Amino acid sequence: MANPTGTQAPGGNAPAEGVFPPFDSATFAPQLIWLAITFGALYLLMSRVALPRVQNILETRAAKIAGDLDAAAAAKAKADEAGVAYEKTLADAKGRAQAMAQDTHAKLAAETDAQRHALEAELNGKLAAAEAQIGEMKAKAMSNVEGIAKDAAAAIVQQLTGKPANAEAIASAVATLKA
């Protein structure tokens, strides 16, 4: 019997009308044989060609990841060492800065004390000179006071009495008041 598609079933048997070919019981045994052959060929191809390549890729990737992890661990250790060295350097620098600040403070304090002592000595010298000058001026003024007192007493006596005063009497009276 002729098929409208122009194909014939193996063995000259025409397929039953309306049956899906894989479910046709007449072709079931050859389909199983071809399934086994195809599965075996595909298994051999995968186990000999594809799977070794995939395994090689996975091993390469695992080795690269392990190498990267080792490099990261080494970099972390190096960074930790650098951090410790940085902290030590920073602490040393702070210590040196504090020592320099204390030295500078001590030097400035010593210079200030020296300048203060020099200024005090200079001012004490000026004060002593001023006191000596004041003492000289006071002595000079006191010697002038005695003369002024004698002249004033003589003028008062002359004004009151109308006669010139005795200079010796005035000198003895001023000397008595002075003592």
For every residue of 46-83, DSSP letters joined together read IIIIIHHHHHHHHHHHHHHHHHHHHHHHHHHHHHHHHH
Express as a percent the part of the chain with pLDDT over 70: 89
Question: Hey, CA dihedral for 10, 16, 21, 22, is it positive or negative?
Answer: negative
> Has this prediction a pTM greater than 0.75?
no
Residue 124 or residue 19, greater confidence: 124
- What does the domain layout of the chain look like in residue ranges? 30-137
Q: Indicate whether 159 pLDDT > 70.
A: yes
C-alpha 24/C-alpha 10 separation (Å) is: 12
